[in-house]
Structure 1
Amino acid sequence: MRGQRFLYFSLLILGSLLTTFIWYTFNNNWHRPLKKDPEIKSSDSCTDCREEKHIIELCSASRTQENQKVNNQQLHQKTKKNAPGSSDSCKDCRTWLRLKCNGFENAIITQKNTPLGSKVIYDGEKKKTIKVTAEQFSFFFQGHPFSNKTRQTCAVVGNGGILANSSCGKMIDSAEFVIRCNLPPLSNGYEKHVGMKTDLVTANPSIFTKKYGSLLGRRRMFVESLCQYGNSMLLLPAFSFSLNTALCLRVLYTIEDFGSPIQPVFLNPKYLESLAVFWRSQGLKETRLSTGMMMTSLALDLCDDVHLYGFWPFSVHPHSFQDLTNHYYDDAQGNKVFHSMSDEFKLLLQLHNQGVLKLHLGECGANE
């Protein structure tokens, strides 16, 4: 009897355990939540959906706008970097120079660009001005000094020692328009190397003071020195510094008194100021542009093809490595306070490499 009870009791426990196991297994398999397909909401009940989509669109639009902004900034920087008026690229310097400075119309004072009674500001002394009188106005060029036409070729002749024994005279004289700087000697054996043709020649007032006694005494020697330039224009900086005005007027009176064929004209200080601003924007920072740089700028306005001779500011020849004098005719040193010749040459070399102008730095042989 006792044995039967123990058997029943054991079966009861075993059955309970089996029931519990079966229930647990079926409960996990049959009653586990099924993965539902995404519910397609109607347009009436898709507020959350629309809001989520709107946020995504806003973010996407924001990223698009930001990307566009970045692209525009990059494009702007690229354009700015390669703009003709930037220091990184000056391939279109000629165009920008004409737009901003217009030497063709403004380089020389005329009765048109500087009317009677107008106020002229000295470009070397910004606080000093002079009112154009009737007498001064009568000396200003009438009409257009450059015959209102563009030349095919220009030669700008500097006075560097590199021109000595260069045999560049014929090439220089073959240019349609020849510009020379600071009344250089052309005869007495220099003709072969620097030529004789002259259409415009500049004059530094210091030459009149040091060499000709400010034209306060005998003046014939000065007038005779001008014969080598024929009937070219003599460009005088009468309004660069106030001390120059009276001196340059004496030059003009002397030329008239002796009947010299050379034509005195006045350099426009407005043009010089615009040149200084323009080249400063190209990275050329110096107190004052050299005469050579001024005349190169003018030539880029006047001529299609610009050739530079005698522009080498160093004391050793670039090819033969021989020692050079400062000028082809003497070894007098220039003004290093106002001018930075090496910086100017670096810029000119950049323009040469970009095809804006042509620098001649050796002997002018048949292959040039």
Structure 2
Amino acid sequence: MVTQESPFKTRHFSTCSVVGNGGILKGSGCGEEIDASEFVFRCNTAPLDNIYWEDVGKRTNFITMNPGMVSYRYARKRKAMKEGRDKFLRDLSVYADSYLFIEAFLYELNAKRAFLAHEVLRESHAKNTVIFPHPDFVRSTHSYWQERGVKAPRASTGLLVVTVATQMCEEVRLYGFWPFHSDRNNTRLTEHYYDNALPSNSHKITDEFKELQRLHNTGVIRLTTHACQ
């Protein structure tokens, strides 16, 4: 189903994990710590195969999906999506009955892709609740971070989710947010924990990381940039 107002309007959580997709998660052993939070956010339908569980955990309460992934992974047109529905539902099933957050309203093409995904979920009686964030919220979030020094056309999905989490959670713990290709011990890292695909040029991830460090240093969030005990 799709909700017409925030399902979190009167709900708050003591501890939340926000899981980015950075290569620093590979070999981190952070999975158990991530899953120990009351609520777990994940970004961009990143893979959750069991080979990753030790490092990234396996619980999900809130997952984002980029509308572009609908056409990239499954289908470009409505008719073709019907043929790709089984793969779509199978991929989404690893996140159980989590909330599915899709930015739908900033661009017309995004809206078509997002509504197509929602239609497939509705027709399949999936248990996921779809959240289409209000465009004013998305625009105001982008504007806020631009004013803070993130000089990019728009904030990344990861930064958007961190913003959401700070409004819902007493303690926000971040994992997998690291924009560099080597860790603190100068060990080479892949771009993501699951592949080495290049990031989008529309984001300024290093600017975003500086802001996350500032929030960490002021106690607003806890930014994990090392292996977990």
Q: How much does 1:244 deviate?
A: 1.0
Q: Which amino acid aligns with 1:183?
A: T
The amino acid that maps onto 1:264 is V
Letter in 2 for 1:341: I
Partner Cα separation in structure 1 for residue 87 and residue 125 of structure 2: 14
The structure that is helix-richer by fraction is 1
Paired amino acid for 2:83: G
User: Helix, strand or coil for the counterpart of 2:105?
Assistant: coil
Shift of 1:180: 0.5
Moved over 6 A (4+): none
**1:166 pairs with 2:166:** no
- Counterpart position of 1:289: 155
Higher radius of gyration, 1 or 2:
1
1:360 matched to 2:218: no
So what's the TM-score if we normalise by structure 1? 0.59
**Of 125, 135, 138, the match for 1:269:** 135
**Deviation, structure 1 residue 281:** 2.5
Contact 2:30 2:54 in 1 (8 A): yes
In structure 1, the partner of 2:210 is 346
Deviation at 1:206, TM superposition (A): 2.1
Distance 1:179 1:270 in 2: 22
Identity %: 38
Gapped regions of structure 2 (runs ≥ 5): none
Equivalent residues in 2 for 1:194-343, closer than 5 Å: 194-214=56-76, 215=81, 217-318=83-184, 320-336=185-201, 338-343=202-207
**d(CA) in 2 for partners of 1:335, 1:280:** 17
* Aligned residue among 45, 48, 51 for 1:183: 45
In 2, the alpha carbon distance for the partners of 1:156 and 1:186 equals: 15
| Cα distance in 1, alignment partners of residues 82 and 22 from structure 2 | 30
Alignment RMSD, CA only?
Answer: 1.4
For 2:20 and 2:108, locate their aligned partners in 1 and report how far apart those are by CA, in whole Å: 26
Question: TM-score normalised to the size of structure 2?
Answer: 0.93
**Which residue in 1 is equivalent to 2:8?**
146
SS, match of residue 174 in structure 2:
strand
Distance (whole Å) between structure 2 residues aligned to residue 203 and residue 149 of structure 1: 22
* Contact kept? 2:68, 2:110, Cα under 8 Å: no
Shift of 1:146: 1.3
Are residues 144 and 283 of structure 1, via their aligned partners in 2, closer, same or farther at CA, if it must alter by over 3 Å?
closer
Higher relative contact order (CA 8 A, sep 6+): 2
Match of 1:106 in 2: none
Q: Aligned pair in 2 of structure 1 residues 212, 152: CA closer, same or farther (>3 Å)?
A: same
- Structure 2: distance between partners of 1:332 and 1:217: 27
